[in-house]
Amino acid sequence: TTYFEGMPGSNCTQATEFSLVGFTEDLATQVTLFLMFLLTYLVTILGNLGMITLIRAIPLLHCPMYYFLGSLAFVNLCTSTIITPRMLVGVLLGKKEMAYAGCMAQVFTFVLLVVTECFLLAAMAYDRYVAVCHPLLYPLVMSPERCSRLVARSYLLGLTSGVGQTIGMSGLLFCGSSTMDRFFPYISLLLSLSTSDTTLSLVILRTSSSLLGVPSMLVVLVSYVAITSTILSISSAEGKSKAFSTCASHLTTVSTFYGELIFMYLITRSDTSRGGDKWAAVLYTVVTPMLNPLIYSLRNQEVKEAWWRLRKIK
């Protein structure tokens, strides 16, 4: 690892590279991991690109719910692309070094995409709430202009969070602690490695989580409480089934996203030093982006019909 001298009067030297040693040295395991990551990435690319293409090509899917889903597919595509190719290079070629600037860029992009996804899922939950609880007002409330604003605000909030987190970490020193037993860098890991005062960075991290993460999660929870109440008030079993079917795919996606997010940042937080969060992070960043298009393809009747129509067009 390359170092340069720190500030005058300091005995510290700042690391200009990080070494990611989360990859096993066993050749057979390396090959297995490479094939597993490569297959997952290919499915992710094909699934999300296919979903975006399908939504654009089939008029049946030109409605707010699928507009949000297309945006979600794009975010999933980007999330996987900023993480998985670097992991593949590390596993296949043993390239463990990552420049400090590259590390900060990856952290910024990752935070931007995660926060954006939180608010996209919240917007989708609100969309389902209006569709189930106020169907007569749906065309007025979920107009194309409002949907565009909701998506734009999701990206803006993600950008704001990414910039804030990156600025908060820009002044941190990493003196002789540039080795990470992980597949990729993320904020909580970098804070634990820093030898300087991380108070400001922790305040920014917790404030951002409180101001952005909690409200988006509350929108989802409140929306589904109202949806559940409305569904239970429907007298016919057929009506209940139809109302629930409009929310099933999104509810599955939300449960997967927040379940893995909570597992990664809360449950495994106390086990960071022993690497307990390593595979949780892989599950969240590599597997989840692959699952979302599969969930909507397998559980949503309209998407299935759209696939058949697209095949007939071809």
Sequence spans of domains, the chain: 17-300
| Predicted local confidence at residue 299, as pLDDT | 66
Q: What is the mean pLDDT of residues 215-244?
A: 87
Model confidence at 232: pLDDT above 70: yes
- Residue 295 tokens, joined: 């969930």
pLDDT tens readout for residues 13-24: 666 677 777 666
Q: Which of 24-33, 166-175, 254-263, 298-307 bottoms out in mean pLDDT, i.e. has the lowest?
A: 298-307
Q: How is domain 17-300 classified at the architecture level of CATH?
A: Up-down Bundle (1.20)
Q: What is the amino acid identity at position 209?
A: S
Residue 228 burial class via C-beta count within 10 angstroms: exposed 0-12, middle 13-18, buried 19 and up: middle
Q: What is the amino acid identity at position 309?
A: R
| Predicted local confidence at residue 266, as pLDDT | 59
Nearest CA among 130, 131, 122 for reference residue 71: 122
Q: Which helix (H) or strand (E) holds 179?
A: strand 179-180
| Predicted local confidence at residue 43, as pLDDT | 93
Q: What is the mean pLDDT of residues 148-175?
A: 87
Reported as a pLDDT band with limits 50, 70 and 90, residue 242 is confident
pTM, whole model, 2 decimals?
0.85
Q: Which of 3-7, 17-21, 29-33, 118-122 bottoms out in mean pLDDT, i.e. has the lowest?
A: 3-7
